[in-house]
Structure 1
C-alpha cells in the first residue's frame, strides 16, 4: 500500500499531488517488545497529552466500551460503560454553558450504544434515536425528526461550528451543518466523520467531502476515491484507511500528513485530532504523529496491551 500525503504548499497551487516523505514524520509509538506479554482486554481508558488534563474517572478503570475525545479548551471527553455515558473535563461550574455540557441527561444513562463529542455539545445514540446536550440554550438541542429513530451511527464536529452527522438507512442527516448536504451523501453511505469539514464513505469505497468553504487542499485525492474502509476528519486535514495503510491530505502545519512508516501497513483504526493523528495496528500498536506541544506523541507503555479503540482530540485516549 503506498501511503500518500497531500497538502497545499505554494508549489501545489496548480493541483500537483505531493508525496511527503514518511521518513521525516514526527511521530511517537508505544514500545512493542519482541515478545509482547499476554494481554486481556479490560475496558480500561488510557489517557495522555496535556499536563493539566483531568484524571479519568474511576468508572474508566474497566468495562468501558466506547470513548470520544473533544477539542474544547476544557479538555472534555466521553466514555460509555454498561450503556451509561460519563463525561469528564476541566469544567468551570460557575459558567452556565459548561454546566450544561457537564450534565449527562437521564436519557443518556441507560441503553446508549454510541457517543460523540461535538464542540460545546455531546451526542449519544439510544434505541436508534439521537440525544443531544450542552450548548447555550435548549433551543439548540432540537433533534431532527428523521434522527429520532433508525439512526445507526453518529459523528460530532469538534472544529468550527459545533455540528453533527447521523447515518440512517445509508443516508446522512446533518445537524447544525452550515454547508449544503451533497446529493451523493443521501444514499449509499457506510461511514461518516466531521470536523471543520465533513467526510462520508460510500459503499463502493469512495470518500466524498463537503464544507461551507472547502479549500482546494481538502478535495478528495484520487487515492481515496476507491477501496477506502475508514475515514476521519481532523482540524483542516483528513485521514482515510486503505489496504491497511493511512492516506492523509489537507493542511500540514504540524506534520499531520507525514504518515510514519508504522502507519503504512497493518492499520485497523484511525483518528484525526486537532493537530495530531492516531492509528491503531492489528498488532495492537498505537501510533501518534504530528503536533507534540502537549505530549501527544508520548504514547504510554500501557497502550501496548489489547487496545481496541482510539480517539484523538486535544488529548489522546485509548481503550484497552
Structure 2
C-alpha cells in the first residue's frame, strides 16, 4: 500500500487530520544521471540571488552542510574535520563578527555541525562547541553537553536554541519550552526550528515548543515506523517506508508532497517555506514556496548527492 502525505491544512478546524492532495503539489524534480562523477564532495546551492557564493573550500571534499537563518546570512560546511563558515556577514557588526569566526576548537576532528540563528554548533570528541551570540555569557553550555553527545541540531526560526542527543536522551540549550519526559530516553534522532522534534526508537515522533497547534499534533501515521524527521517553518516532515509525511502549516503547499516523494526517499530536509527530498535513484525533489527560487533545481544537480539542506536556499553535496 502506498503511503501518502498527511497533515493539517490552515483551514482545518478542531485538530482533525486531513490528507494532503499530492497530485496538486507545487514541485520540481531533477534526476541524477549515471554519466556524471559523483563523490567529489562539492557544494551546489540555489535560491535567492543575494545568497553568498560558496567559497573555494566548498568545491570538493565536503562531508556535511548546514544552512543558516536570516535569508542565508551564513552557512556551515565540514571538510576533513574542519568547520568553515561563509555568509553575508557585516563585519562592522560585533555580533556578526562573533558568528563569522570559527573557534580553534572547531578546526579539527569535528564530526557534526548545526546552525542555530545567531549561533553555530560543532561536535568534537562527544563535546558540543558553540559560538556566536551577542556576549560570552550566552555561550554557557550545560555540563551534560560537554561529553558523550552523539548528535546535534539547532533552531533557525523564532528563538535560537539547540538540541543535543546523549545516551538516548535529549538535552536542550536556550529553549523556552522544557523537554518532555518521553524525549529523555529512547531517542534516536532530533531536529528543530520554531518547534522541536525527537524520534523514538520505536519510530514514534515527539514534538514540543511554541508553534501552531496543528504542527504540535503528531498524526497517527507518524506514531510508528518513522525513520527520519525534519522540522520546517511551521510544519514537519517525516520519512516512513520511503515516503514523506507532512503536517502543520500549509500556507505555501508545504503539505502537498509530490508523487515522486512518496516512494524510495532516503533523505529529507524541511526549509523555511519549502522542502527537499532525495530518492534512492538520485532524484532531487523540492516543493512548496518558490519565493526564493528553491524549486529551481539547477542542471548541475545531477551527480550523486550525498547530503541535502534546505533553508531560504537549498544546498546539496555532490
Fold equivalence (TM over 0.5): yes
The Cα of 1:304 is off from its aligned counterpart by: 1.5
2:262 aligned residue:
264
- After TM superposition, the structure 1 = structure 2 runs for residues 161-200 of structure 1, keeping only pairs within 5 Å, are 161-200=159-198
- The answer to whether the 8 A contact 1:8-1:217 is kept is no
- The answer to whether the 8 A contact 2:32-2:303 is kept is no
The separation in 2 between residues aligned to 1:214 and 1:193, in whole angstroms, is: 17
1:2 aligned residue:
3
The separation in 1 between residues aligned to 2:216 and 2:222, in whole angstroms, is: 12
* Partner SS for 1:238: strand
- The answer to whether the 8 A contact 1:75-1:315 is kept is no
The Cα of 1:47 is off from its aligned counterpart by: 0.7
1:23 aligned residue:
23
Q: Provide, for residues 229-248 of structure 1, a one-character-per-residue CA deviation record: whole Å limited to 9, x for no partner.
A: 00000111000000000000
Summarize the Cα distance change of 1:139–1:129 in structure 2 as closer, same or farther, 3 Å threshold.
Answer: same
Q: Provide, for residues 254-311 of structure 1, a one-character-per-residue CA deviation record: whole Å limited to 9, x for no partner.
A: 1110001110100000000111100010111111111101111011122121101100
Runs of 4+ in structure 1 displaced over 3 angstroms? none
2:113 aligned residue:
115
* Mean CA deviation greater in 96-105 or 216-225: 216-225
2:91 aligned residue:
93
1:236 aligned residue:
234
The Cα of 1:2 is off from its aligned counterpart by: 1.5
Summarize the Cα distance change of 1:213–1:261 in structure 2 as closer, same or farther, 3 Å threshold.
Answer: closer
1:279 aligned residue:
277
* Partner SS for 1:218: coil
- After TM superposition, the structure 1 = structure 2 runs for residues 1-320 of structure 1, keeping only pairs within 5 Å, are 1-10=2-11, 12-32=12-32, 36-213=34-211, 215-320=213-318
* Partner SS for 2:301: helix
Summarize the Cα distance change of 1:270–1:103 in structure 2 as closer, same or farther, 3 Å threshold.
Answer: same
Q: Provide, for residues 138-176 of structure 1, a one-character-per-residue CA deviation record: whole Å limited to 9, x for no partner.
A: 111111100000000000000111000000000000000
The separation in 2 between residues aligned to 1:5 and 1:77, in whole angstroms, is: 31
Q: Provide, for residues 172-207 of structure 1, a one-character-per-residue CA deviation record: whole Å limited to 9, x for no partner.
A: 000001001100100000000011000000000000
The Cα of 1:313 is off from its aligned counterpart by: 0.7
* Partner SS for 1:262: helix
* Partner SS for 1:140: helix
Give the TM-score taking structure 1 as reference length: 0.96
The separation in 1 between residues aligned to 2:80 and 2:126, in whole angstroms, is: 17
RMSD of aligned residue pairs (Cα, Å): 1.2
* Partner SS for 1:287: strand
The Cα of 1:25 is off from its aligned counterpart by: 0.6
- Mind listing any 5+ residue stretches in structure 2 that lack a counterpart? none
